[in-house]
Amino acid sequence: MAKGKAVSLEKRHDVVHARRNLKLSPASIRDLYFIDRDGNHSIALCTVEKMCRLIDQPSPDDMNVDIFLEGPKTVRLGRPRMLVGQDVSFLRRLYNRVAPRGKMKDMHKLFTKSYYAVGSAIPSQSTVSRTIRKRTGLAKPITRKKLQRIHRDRDPHRVLTFVERAAPYDPEMWIDIDEMKQTPADFLQLFGYALEGEPATAQQIYIGTRAFSVIAAMGVHGFICWTIFEENLNHTHVEEFVRTKVQPLMNGQRGLIDNAGSHHADDVRAALDAAFNGQWLYASPYSPHLKPIERGFSLIKGYLRDHEDEAVLGPVLWINRAFERYAVGGERGDSCFGFWNTYRRLHRAFQDGRI
């Protein structure tokens, strides 16, 4: 329908009859049904032509005619609409079950794949966006917000202490170790979706209906090793990874790890001491710019988003492919080289006597 020109249900039935049974042209239908008291057309010819095209579309079960008769709030007839009732309830349950990623296109794709049958008419991305921002059908709306526990919690004194300890060492010898997992403490994304008044959480690797956690180690020229889990991680996973995967590959390198609670466990500290001969550091808290692997993880997530349809069929295979692509000697391993520029600048400043 032309914007602002609602057509009554009676006239809609008349249009269907005129088009299907009387075989009238759009111009004739317009002259017959859309003339006002002054003899002027009350609707544009192009609008009638669109109505006729919708009626003419082959549809054995008359679905298109039913959509047409429902009125201008349906998807095909041009007026902005929102999801209501059951649709919104499902959207909120979906969020509660799997915290979505911070991009609307990802939220829209996950929602439509989970809720709508293949081949059925699905709401547009803008419709889902309007619903998330303006209507919930229940209580609090889902809103887009900055994730919690980021730079505002950083202690500048601890950052300075870390910089002074890290600056003397050649950045080529650093190995950064970290995990991707689903906890409120993760801050790899700047934005996420959450119920209003509740903290946002970032789902790091979500493929289809399955969530994955990964522990990985990355050097200047890419990832050197990784392990994939379909479960949340604790200190025993970290200890085993450092002992079995990292330690056999080390030859005088220095370790870098963040301040997650699991990394302070005695068994993890002992494994790090053995792997790096005691030469490792905790990065200052809430300082992702001092953790190059965080940017490496963003490459992994980007690759998986670009191959989401294939990854749904073989999640572990495609997660491995993503890491192999950005591994040492991999096709794009040197993409990680620039992530260590902060440490290169620190080292040059130390050599020049500025630190």
Which tokens sit at 43? 């609707």
Q: Is there a single domain that holds both residue 182 and residue 311? A: yes
Q: Is there a single domain that holds both residue 201 and residue 286? A: yes
Q: Is there a single domain that holds both residue 31 and residue 105? A: no
Q: Is there a single domain that holds both residue 68 and residue 213? A: no
- Assess if residue 146 is contained within a domain: no
Q: What gap in Å lies between CA 55 and CA 16, rounded to an integer?
A: 7
- Assess if residue 172 is contained within a domain: yes
- Assess if residue 196 is contained within a domain: yes
Alpha-helical regions (H) of the chain: 9-20, 26-33, 45-56, 63-70, 86-97, 104-115, 125-134, 156-166, 235-241, 266-276, 292-306, 308-313, 315-325, 341-351
Which residues are within 8 A (CB) of 152 and not within 5 positions of it... i.e. 6 or more apart?
none
Which tokens sit at 274? 């053995």
From residue 275, alpha-carbon distances to 82, 179, 191, 227, 336 in Å are 56, 18, 35, 17, 22
From residue 211, alpha-carbon distances to 97, 100, 136, 204, 338 in Å are 11, 11, 26, 8, 29
Q: What is the pLDDT along the chain (355 residues), one digit of tens a residue?
A: 334 456 777 788 888 888 888 888 898 888 888 887 777 888 888 888 888 887 887 655 555 566 566 554 433 434 455 666 666 666 666 655 554 444 566 667 777 777 776 666 777 777 776 666 655 444 455 555 555 445 556 778 888 888 889 999 998 999 999 987 643 333 334 455 555 555 555 545 666 667 788 999 999 999 999 999 887 778 899 999 999 999 999 998 999 998 888 889 999 999 999 999 999 999 988 787 889 998 898 888 888 878 878 888 888 899 999 999 999 999 998 899 999 998 999 999 888 888 7
- Three-state DSSP at 102 gives coil
Q: Is there a single domain that holds both residue 210 and residue 235? A: yes
The DSSP call for residue 245 is: I
**Helices 341-351, 156-166: inter-axial angle, 10-degree rounding:** 70
Q: Is there a single domain that holds both residue 233 and residue 311? A: yes
- What's the whole-model pTM score? 0.56
Q: Is there a single domain that holds both residue 306 and residue 278? A: yes
Q: How many domains does the chain have?
A: 3
- Assess if residue 178 is contained within a domain: yes
Residue 52, domain extent = 9-77
CATH number at residue 222: 3.30.420.10
Conformational region of residue 23, where left means phi above 0, alpha means psi within -120 to 50, and beta covers everything else? left
- Assess if residue 145 is contained within a domain: no
In our burial notation (b when 16+ CB lie closer than 10 A, e otherwise), range 263-290 reads bebeebbebbeebbeeebbbbbebbbeb
Quick one: pLDDT at residue 168? 92
Q: Is there a single domain that holds both residue 102 and residue 65? A: no
Q: Is there a single domain that holds both residue 112 and residue 174? A: no
Q: Is there a single domain that holds both residue 165 and residue 124? A: no
- Assess if residue 32 is contained within a domain: yes
Tell me which of 57, 77, 97 is where a domain ends: 77
Quick one: pLDDT at residue 328? 92
Q: Is there a single domain that holds both residue 204 and residue 266? A: yes
- 172, 220 contact by CB (below 8 A): yes
Tell me which of 58, 77, 96 is where a domain ends: 77
- Assess if residue 47 is contained within a domain: yes
- Residue 207's DSSP bridge partners are 210
- Three-state DSSP at 168 gives coil
Q: What gap in Å lies between CA 205 and CA 320, rounded to an integer?
A: 12
Q: Is there a single domain that holds both residue 325 and residue 244? A: yes
- 166, 129 contact by CB (below 8 A): no
Q: What gap in Å lies between CA 218 and CA 245, rounded to an integer?
A: 12
From residue 270, alpha-carbon distances to 60, 93, 105, 240, 243 in Å are 70, 42, 44, 11, 9
